[in-house]
Amino acid sequence: GLTSYSRYPRMMAAAGLPLSEVIDRLVPLALQTAR
């Protein structure tokens, strides 16, 4: 999942990407793929 306690968001935060920025990047990619 993408909760603040999940491993993926914690790894991204350690790499300097906050969860909000990860989501901002993932949503457009998902919408583009869905088309």
Q: What is the pLDDT of residue 1?
A: 66
Q: pTM for this one?
A: 0.61
| Residue 32 confidence (pLDDT) | 92
SS3 readout for the chain: CCCCCCHHHHHHHHCCCCHHHHHHHHHHHHHHHHC
| CA–CA dist 17, 2 (Å, integer) | 13
Give the tens place of pLDDT for each residue, 1-35: 677 678 988 898 899 998 899 889 999 999 998 77
Half-sphere exposure for 22 (CA within 13 Å, toward CB): 16
For 1-20, letters b (16+ CB in 10 Å) and e give eeeeeeeebeebeeeeeebe
